[in-house]
């Protein structure tokens, strides 16, 4: 297909229609559970996009990224639940959570500027664990986070009297809570994608690429390493915090166990699997890794319908298959499913 | 050939999609618990307990509602003990129009899922979630057939202060919702009963080394060490107490009162006292039979299988009395439950907690749990 | 009872196990510049294999030391084979791939090993048969058990052997050469693939011994145990300076002691504001502080950046 303006417009319209119709198709075809899964996938896309700025653009390996997600989630939860009896409006709480996370991104970034590669990985990992442990223990001497019990009955995301958790099937058949969240999350994901793309092709993006490829050379050519690295941490953390706030409102419950190290590793897997540095690849990775375990779950259900019993319990093999998929994927396409052009060139270059 | 393949494919797809066209004579019940990950053995145990109940009910002729015979079918799903996955599983159960759900294993999963079940109007009976918050969220659909932390914690504290005459108590918890909840309730009740908490230490649910905290505890010379947590930690904890020569009485909750604890603690298990809700299995009318049947089919009971078993019967019992498997119809009937189950006499208070929190204390004597005494208290809070 | 001495002994024993496992991380990193994320799971497989053999032989006519040795040797053989296999399948094809690709295969391999172990040995914790001596000796008011003593001696011996192997033998020289520059080492007639294979065998054997000791010490094994052990050992390797063998030993011992003293003294030090619930925060805090002061770890060379 040639890229005439007409064709481009056509394919964009087709994509837009698909994205708009998707939740309804899923809901009536497979059930609301699947809309919820897509909602989660969109949240993970936001996280993956945020982490991609730190790891994919600036080349800083961050294994504690989930901490920013946790902060956004807890800011939302504390200011919008019976925990303190506060019910602040969403348009205050979400930016506040994102800003808090961004601030901590800078706080984490400042002392670690000198560290590189795997040392940075272990320090960020430690930072992630420290945040989780604090959240898990700050119920004494003053009860702030309610400790391991978590915070429940968090207010859903609402604008005025419109709550995203309530069904509005009287307006439109099938307009359920998960479907409404889908549109909200989709809009924000698209916004973050747009910001990320603009960043990538800006002066800042080129500076990050330079730092990623050769820190010494970048510094020698007059790039202020410190500022650009901090900016990467802050931007990534802000998106993470925003996603966290949305998660708290969507889920209605947060507890520290949702923000463990394995989650950070999962998000890293998403961006590497999808194609580091490429916004579309990263989103693809997030979608696949969120949906994959759920798709396997369906196999059990299918066996039940087909044979009346579960012959091979996919629960036993789900994680095993997931692990194998990671290995095979990396062996076949080490630059990811949808590599960024620059990273792709790097790989091709090293081979020759 | 191509057409046949296409037909077969669409058959597969249709089968995959047929989430709400269940056969007319089948009542579907969901079971949600972690079937993978570190708590998989407990989660599988719950699913097995529920499966046994479903099979027993079906073998006994199913459920007869308004003159029509129904068979039960159990859909066991893996919530990975993860709050996020738990809500997705809950939503899938809601989509599948299950009549009720047995689950989840952990309070951390039961609580977020409760909102989804409440939205869908589906009754949820947890066989093992003990956090007080679970039934106090204000949802009419949340029930449990297990004592809550407060009921068990105060029974344990009562035993520690009155029977063991403990004055100085050290409390350890594993910083999970379960361990911390139970330890806090125990500490509160023990202080009210006049004991002193001389040391409060913490560990995690993945730890195996407790020597450092036990060394600190030994320095404060307690009469009793209370542990809020599960057997994988309690086992090595008991060993290491012995290793350090810390001779205080080890006391724990239902997470400790397991055969696995004895296996892991070895000789050091002897003398440990731990509680479990309900009467001892062999003292219940159907207990011995349950144990025999379960063990033959699935191997040893881990912990909460009998509660999952009872949860299914409580649900079936309410359906029977409502003469309907429609959640809207039988949900009100759950409130008036009076059911004699394997684990005890089950009836609910206004929150959905057990009205009679029966707790039995056991002691390890010659590497076997022997019942000591049974305490009953009504739901606190 | 001397509390401080007791905490020190607790930490030293824990630390020497960390050190054994950390060596595997650091050796592979030194040569390939790769974090072998699956190393923790190799430790777990070692513990599982040893326990399977030991449990099987318990009750037979064989003397106890023979039973234990049979378990240990099986674990070493099994883990070495596994280490070689992992290197061949998951790392070698990716030697020139983007840096994060082998990290992801390593995570994939960990997940595979964990779940295979779950399918083979079940979801239950497995207990160690009561074959080990139960005695203890009094060290100035603190207790040192026989098992602790065995662990200290074994790991000290192994570390001495490894250190002289790397520093004094031709093999060790070849390993160091490959670590510095695989290409130049190749020009000198060193077969890099052979050296890498040897590295994996040694690292995996140490992991197997570490896994065996851990399961004997705590009396249990579980398919999930490798994750946390691996994480701690990896932190220890980084603390000492990853790639540096003596650094891994030092890092392991230090981390064990920091954890132990942290859990014991964080309460009194902060006047009860923080308790042992913050012991990991304390450990990570010390780790971060050390890395900020010495960005390449305690004994690491700060010039070479392999990233």
In chain C, which residues have their Cβ closer than 8 Å to the Cβ of B219?
1, 3
What does the pLDDT read at residue C113? 95
What does the pLDDT read at residue A304? 64
- Which of B47, B176, B211 is the best residue to mutate to test the C interface, defined by the most C CB atoms within 10 Å of its own CB? B211
Q: Which tokens sit at B357?
A: 């929190």
Using an 8 Å Cβ cutoff, are C95 and C32 in contact?
Answer: yes
Cross-chain Cβ contact A133/C278 below 8 Å: yes
In chain C, which residues have their Cβ closer than 8 Å to the Cβ of A118?
29, 35, 238, 242, 306-307
Cross-chain Cβ contact C122/B202 below 8 Å: no
Touching C: A residues 42-81, CB under 8 Å = 55, 61
In chain B, which residues have their Cβ closer than 8 Å to the Cβ of A152?
111-112, 133, 137
pLDDT exceeds 70 at position A351: no
Q: A180-191 burial by CB neighbour count: b if 16+ within 10 A, else e?
A: bbbbbbbebbee
Alpha-carbon span B272 to A247, nearest angstrom: 43
Of the pLDDT bands very low, low, confident and very high (cuts 50, 70, 90), residue A293 is confident
Examine residue C293 and state whether it is found in any structural domain, yes or no. no
What does the pLDDT read at residue C274? 85
What does the pLDDT read at residue B366? 93
Burial class (CB in 10 A: 0-12, 13-18, 19+), B8: exposed
Cross-chain Cβ contact B112/A37 below 8 Å: no
Burial class (CB in 10 A: 0-12, 13-18, 19+), A16: exposed
Of residues A61, A119, A335, nearest to C296 (C-beta): A119
- Three-state secondary structure along chain C? CCHHHHHHHHHHHHHHHHHHHHHHHHHHHHHHCCCCCCHHHHHHHHHHHHHHHHHHHCCCCCCHHHHHHHHHHHHHHHHHHHHHHHHHHHHHHHCCCCCHHHHHHHHHHHHHHHHHHHHHHCCCCEECCCCCCCCEEEECCEEEEHHHHHHHHHHHHHHHHHHHHHHHCHHHHHHHHHHHCHHHHHHCCCCHHHHHHHHHHHHHHHHHHHHHHHHHHHCEECCCHHHHHHHHHHHHHHHHCCCCHHHHHHHHHHHHHHHHHHHHHHHHHCCCCCCHHHHHHHHHHHHHHHHHHCCCCCCCCCCCCCC
- Which of A218, A285, A323 is the best residue to mutate to test the C interface, defined by the most C CB atoms within 10 Å of its own CB? A323
Of residues B19, B78, B177, nearest to A31 (C-beta): B19
CATH code given to domain B150-277+359-378: 3.40.50.2300
Residues 6+ apart with CB under 8 A from C238: A118, A119, A122, C251, C287, C291, C297
Question: Coil, strand, or helix at residue A168?
Answer: coil
Examine residue C159 and state whether it is found in any structural domain, yes or no. yes
Nearest chain C CA: its distance from B351 CA (Å) = 32
Residue A276, chain C, CB below 8 Å: the answer is yes
Of residues B87, B112, B181, nearest to A149 (C-beta): B181
CA A252 to chain CA centroid, Å, is: 18
Alpha-carbon span B66 to B47, nearest angstrom: 29
Nearest chain A CA: its distance from C81 CA (Å) = 19
The domain containing residue C188 runs over which residues? 3-225
Burial class (CB in 10 A: 0-12, 13-18, 19+), C84: middle
Nearest chain C CA: its distance from A244 CA (Å) = 23
For residue range A66-122, list pLDDT tens digits in order. Answer: 999 999 999 999 999 999 999 999 999 999 999 999 999 999 888 888 887 778 888
Q: Enumerate residue ranges in chain B where pLDDT < 70.
A: 1-23, 378-381
For residue range A148-172, list pLDDT tens digits in order. Answer: 999 988 999 998 888 888 888 888 8
- Residue among A213, C279, A104 nearest A112 (CA): A104
Question: Coil, strand, or helix at residue B291?
Answer: helix
Cross-chain Cβ contact A149/B15 below 8 Å: no
Q: Which tokens sit at B248?
A: 């205080």
Closest-approach residue (CA) in chain C for B180: C277
What does the pLDDT read at residue A348? 47
Of residues B15, B82, B177, nearest to A150 (C-beta): B177
Examine residue C79 and state whether it is found in any structural domain, yes or no. yes
Examine residue C47 and state whether it is found in any structural domain, yes or no. yes
Question: Higher model confidence: residue A228 or residue C59?
Answer: A228
Cross-chain Cβ contact A319/C111 below 8 Å: yes
Nearest chain C CA: its distance from A97 CA (Å) = 23
Q: Which residue has the tokens 């969901």?
A: B30
Residue B232, chain C, CB below 8 Å: the answer is yes
Which of the other chains make 3 or more beta carbon contacts under 8 angstroms with chain A? B, C
Of residues B41, B215, B232, nearest to C7 (C-beta): B215
Using an 8 Å Cβ cutoff, are A292 and A337 in contact?
Answer: no
What does the pLDDT read at residue C292? 84
Question: Higher model confidence: residue A300 or residue A203?
Answer: A203
In chain A, which residues have their Cβ closer than 8 Å to the Cβ of C281?
129-130, 133-134
Using an 8 Å Cβ cutoff, are B71 and B115 in contact?
Answer: no
For residue range B142-165, list pLDDT tens digits in order. Answer: 999 999 999 999 999 999 999 999
Rounded to 5°, angle at Cα A174 from A173 and A176: 125
Cross-chain Cβ contact C295/A114 below 8 Å: yes
What does the pLDDT read at residue B4? 43
Residue C277, chain B, CB below 8 Å: the answer is yes
CATH architecture of A22-351: Orthogonal Bundle (1.10)
Using an 8 Å Cβ cutoff, are A76 and A97 in contact?
Answer: yes
In chain C, which residues have their Cβ closer than 8 Å to the Cβ of A351?
96
What does the pLDDT read at residue B378? 57
| ipTM value greater than 0.85 | yes
Per the structure, how many domains does chain C have? 1
Cross-chain Cβ contact C280/B204 below 8 Å: yes
- Which of A30, A33, A153, A174 is the best residue to mutate to test the B interface, defined by the most B CB atoms within 10 Å of its own CB? A33
Examine residue C247 and state whether it is found in any structural domain, yes or no. no
Residue A347, chain C, CB below 8 Å: the answer is yes
DSSP state of A55: I
Ordered by start, the domain boundaries in chain B are: 26-147+283-348, 150-277+359-378
Touching C: A residues 87-126, CB under 8 Å = 111-112, 114-119, 121-123, 126
Q: pLDDT > 90: what percent of chain A?
A: 51
Ordered by start, the domain boundaries in chain A are: 22-351
What does the pLDDT read at residue C294? 86
What does the pLDDT read at residue B14? 39
Cross-chain Cβ contact B83/A37 below 8 Å: no
Q: Which residue has the tokens 């999609």?
A: B17
Q: Which tokens sit at C250?
A: 């030092």
Whether B150-277+359-378 and B26-147+283-348 are alike in CATH topology: the answer is yes
Which of the other chains make 3 or more beta carbon contacts under 8 angstroms with chain B? A, C
Touching C: B residues 235-264, CB under 8 Å = 235-236, 239, 243-245, 260, 263-264
For residue range B276-306, list pLDDT tens digits in order. Answer: 988 888 787 788 889 999 999 999 888 899 9
Which of A115-119, A215-219, B13-17, C50-54 shows the lowest per-residue confidence on average (mean pLDDT)? B13-17
Nearest chain C CA: its distance from A13 CA (Å) = 35
CATH code given to domain B26-147+283-348: 3.40.50.2300
For residue range C61-78, list pLDDT tens digits in order. Answer: 899 999 999 999 999 999
């Amino acid at each position: 297909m040639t890229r005439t303006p007409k064709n481009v417009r056509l394919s964009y319209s087709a994509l837009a229609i698909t994205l708009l119709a998707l939740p309804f198709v899923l809901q009536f075809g497979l059930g609301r559970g699947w809309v919820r899964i897509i909602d989660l996938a969109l949240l993970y896309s936001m996280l993956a996009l945020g982490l991609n700025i730190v790891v994919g653009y600036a080349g800083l390996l961050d294994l504690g990224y989930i901490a920013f997600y946790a902060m956004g989630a807890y800011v939302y939860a504390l200011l919008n639940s019976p925990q303190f009896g506060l019910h602040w409006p969403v348009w205050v709480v979400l930016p506040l959570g994102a800003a808090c996370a961004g601030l901590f991104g800078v706080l984490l970034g400042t002392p670690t500027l000198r560290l590189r590669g795997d040392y940075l990985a272990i320090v960020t990992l430690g930072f992630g664990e420290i945040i989780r442990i604090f959240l898990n223990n700050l119920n004494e001497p003053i009860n702030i986070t309610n400790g391991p019990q978590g915070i429940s009955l968090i207010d859903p995301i609402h604008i005025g009297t419109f709550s995203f958790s309530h069904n509005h099937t009287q307006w439109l058949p099938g307009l359920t809570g998960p479907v409404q969240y889908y549109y909200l999350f989709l809009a924000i994901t698209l916004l973050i994608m747009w910001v990320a793309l603009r960043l990538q092709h800006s002066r800042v993006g080129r500076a990050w690429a330079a730092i990623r490829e050769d820190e010494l050379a970048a510094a020698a050519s007059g790039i202020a390493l410190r500022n650009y690295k901090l900016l990467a941490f802050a931007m990534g953390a802000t998106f993470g915090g925003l996603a966290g706030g949305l998660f708290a409102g969507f889920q209605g419950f947060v507890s520290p166990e949702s923000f463990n190290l394995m989650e950070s590793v999962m998000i890293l897997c998403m961006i590497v699997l999808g194609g580091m540095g490429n916004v579309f690849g990263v989103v693809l990775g997030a979608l696949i890794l969120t949906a994959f375990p759920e798709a396997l779950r369906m196999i059990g259900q299918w066996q039940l319908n087909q044979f009346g019993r579960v012959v091979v319990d996919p629960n036993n093999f789900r994680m095993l298959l997931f692990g194998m998929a990671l290995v095979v994927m990396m062996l076949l396409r080490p630059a990811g499913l949808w590599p960024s052009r620059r990273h792709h060139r790097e790989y091709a270059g090293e081979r020759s | 050939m191509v057409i046949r393949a296409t037909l077969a494919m669409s058959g597969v797809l249709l089968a995959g999609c047929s989430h709400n066209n269940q056969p007319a004579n089948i009542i579907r019940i969901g079971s949600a618990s972690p079937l993978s990950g570190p708590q998989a053995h407990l989660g599988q145990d719950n699913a097995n307990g529920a499966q046994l109940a479903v099979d027993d009910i079906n073998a006994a002729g199913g459920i007869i509602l308004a003159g029509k015979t129904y068979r039960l079918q159990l859909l066991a799903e893996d919530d990975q003990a993860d709050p996020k996955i738990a809500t997705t599983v809950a939503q899938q159960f809601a989509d599948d129009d299950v009549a009720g759900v047995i689950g989840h294993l952990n309070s951390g999963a039961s609580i977020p899922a409760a909102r989804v079940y409440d939205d869908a109007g589906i009754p949820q009976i947890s066989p093992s979630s003990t956090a007080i918050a679970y039934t106090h969220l204000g949802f009419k659909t949340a029930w449990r057939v297990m004592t809550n932390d407060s009921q068990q914690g105060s029974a344990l504290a009562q035993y520690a202060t009155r029977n063991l005459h403990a004055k100085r108590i050290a409390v350890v918890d594993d910083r999970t919702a379960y361990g911390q909840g139970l330890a806090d309730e125990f500490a509160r009740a023990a202080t009210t009963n006049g004991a002193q908490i001389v040391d409060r230490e913490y560990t995690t649910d993945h730890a195996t080394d407790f020597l450092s905290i036990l060394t600190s505890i030994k320095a404060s010379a307690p009469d009793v060490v209370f542990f809020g947590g599960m057997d994988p930690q309690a086992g090595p904890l008991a060993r290491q107490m012995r290793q350090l020569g810390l001779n205080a009485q080890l006391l724990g909750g239902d997470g400790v009162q397991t055969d696995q604890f004895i296996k892991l603690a070895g000789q050091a298990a002897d003398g440990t006292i731990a509680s479990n809700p309900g009467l001892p299995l062999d003292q219940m009318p159907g207990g011995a039979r349950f144990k025999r049947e379960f063990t033959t089919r699935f191997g040893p009971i881990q912990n909460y299988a009998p509660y999952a078993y009872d949860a299914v019967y409580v649900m079936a019992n309410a359906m029977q009395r409502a003469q309907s498997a429609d959640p809207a119809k039988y949900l009100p009937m759950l409130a008036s439950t009076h059911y004699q189950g394997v684990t005890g006499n089950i009836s609910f208070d206004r929150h959905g907690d057990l009205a009679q929190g029966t707790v039995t204390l056991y002691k390890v004597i010659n590497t076997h749990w022997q019942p000591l005494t049974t305490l009953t208290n009504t739901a606190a809070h | 009872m001397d509390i401080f001495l007791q905490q020190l002994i607790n930490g030293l024993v824990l630390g020497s196990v960390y050190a054994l496992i950390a060596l595997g991380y650091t050796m592979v990193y030194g040569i390939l510049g790769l974090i072998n994320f699956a190393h923790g799971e190799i430790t777990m497989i070692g513990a599982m294999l040893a326990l399977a053999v030991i449990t099987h032989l318990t009750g037979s006519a064989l003397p106890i030391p023979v039973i234990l040795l049979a378990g240990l040797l099986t674990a070493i053989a099994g883990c070495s084979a596994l280490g070689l296999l992992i290197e061949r399948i998951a790392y070698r094809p990716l030697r020139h791939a983007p840096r994060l690709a082998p990290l992801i295969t390593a995570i994939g391999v960990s997940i595979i090993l964990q779940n295979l172990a779950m399918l083979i040995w079940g979801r239950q914790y497995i207990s160690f048969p009561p074959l080990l001596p139960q005695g203890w000796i009094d060290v100035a008011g603190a207790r040192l058990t026989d098992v602790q003593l065995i662990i200290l001696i074994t790991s000290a011996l192994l570390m001495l052997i490894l250190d002289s192997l790397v520093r004094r033998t031709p093999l060790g020289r070849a390993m160091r050469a490959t670590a510095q520059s695989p290409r130049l080492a190749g020009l000198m007639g060193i077969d890099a693939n052979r050296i890498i294979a040897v590295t994996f065998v040694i690292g995996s054997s140490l992991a197997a011994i570490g896994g065996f000791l851990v399961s004997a010490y705590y009396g249990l094994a579980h398919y999930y145990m490798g994750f946390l052990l691996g994480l701690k050992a990896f932190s220890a390797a980084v603390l000492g300076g990853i790639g540096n063998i003596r650094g891994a030993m030092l890092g392991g011992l230090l981390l064990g002691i920091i954890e132990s003293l942290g859990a014991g003294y964080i309460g009194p030090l902060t006047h009860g504001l923080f308790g042992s619930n913050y012991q990991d925060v304390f450990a990570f805090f010390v780790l971060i502080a050390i890395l900020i002061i010495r960005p390449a770890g305690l004994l690491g060379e700060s010039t070479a950046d392999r990233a």
